[in-house]
């Protein structure tokens, strides 16, 4: 069975600093996708970044990058140059063929001015 | 606005009443998903449609829950004889086949008194 683990319930970062949000996963499928979503207090889930299990390079989208370490089954999200608007819940998710999307419990990020 | 929309955004009901939520996906997306999110947790998969066909249902979806997607467009999620444990955020997401990104709506927050 697929499983996603986010071990950091809450994280603090100073504005303009970088922060890493941890995510580990467990699956026996060789093909899978990894996702990060941001959920502000308004409730809407906002897609940030995607990494396929066969992708050779780490995914990047603007200030977001995914540190994909396949052997360690980790897919950490790195946010560079944090902004106050980055304060939100962040969810890691995984999806394998024929399976539904599984989400971690989330990490609440607070950016301090 | 061409995103996923959900109605209502908030619903307060008394235990034992029936409630119905609506989701309008992005028009060219043929897949539609329902999730439930309780406080402090990530979204949990409930059910999934490809066009008008309901292809998968989670064991979380008891017989009090029913979902439809007539004509493969909007979808409704009905909860009969609501219980306090049904209080949660109900999220809808849509996706185009063979793409990896699910776009989420703003959710419907249900409170059962």
In tens, the pLDDT along A23-75 reads 999 998 899 999 999 999 888 899 999 999 999 899 999 999 999 999 999 99
Identify which of B41, B101, B106 has the shortest CB distance to residue A43: B106
For the stretch B2-47, pLDDT in tens is 799 999 999 999 999 999 999 999 988 999 999 999 988 999 999 9
| B101 vs A contacts (CB less than 8 Å) | 35, 47, 50
Tallying the residues shown for chain B, one arrives at 113
Nearest Cα residue in chain B from A44: B106
H or E stretch including B68? strand B65-68
User: Are A76 and A23 contacting, i.e. CB atoms less than 8 angstroms apart?
Assistant: yes
Identify which of B41, B102, B107 has the shortest CB distance to residue A101: B102
Q: Do B101 and A50 touch (CB under 8 A)?
A: yes
Q: Do A50 and B106 touch (CB under 8 A)?
A: no
Q: Do A46 and B104 touch (CB under 8 A)?
A: yes
* CA dihedral (A73, A56, A1, A25) positive or negative: positive
């Amino acid at each position: 069975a697929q499983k996603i683990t986010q071990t950091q319930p809450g994280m603090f970062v100073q504005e303009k600093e970088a922060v890493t949000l941890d995510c580990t996963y467990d699956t026996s499928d060789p093909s899978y996708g990894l996702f990060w979503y941001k959920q502000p207090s308004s409730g809407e889930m906002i897609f940030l970044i995607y990494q396929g299990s066969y992708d050779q390079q780490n995914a990047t989208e603007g200030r977001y990058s995914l540190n994909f370490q396949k052997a360690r089954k980790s897919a950490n999200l790195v946010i560079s140059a944090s902004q106050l608007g980055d304060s939100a819940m962040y969810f890691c998710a995984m999806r394998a063929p024929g399976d539904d999307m599984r989400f971690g419990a989330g990490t609440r990020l607070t950016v301090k001015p | 606005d061409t995103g996923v929309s959900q109605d209502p955004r908030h619903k307060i009901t008394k235990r034992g009443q029936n409630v119905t939520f609506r989701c309008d996906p992005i028009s060219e997306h043929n897949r539609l998903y329902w999730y439930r999110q309780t406080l402090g947790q990530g979204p949990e998969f409930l059910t999934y449609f490809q066009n008008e066909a309901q292809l998968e249902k989670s064991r979380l979806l008891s017989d009090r829950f029913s979902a439809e997607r007539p004509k493969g467009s909007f979808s409704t999620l009905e909860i009969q004889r609501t219980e306090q444990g049904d209080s949660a955020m109900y999220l809808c997401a849509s996706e185009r086949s063979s793409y990896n990104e699910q776009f989420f709506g703003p959710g419907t927050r249900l409170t059962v008194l």
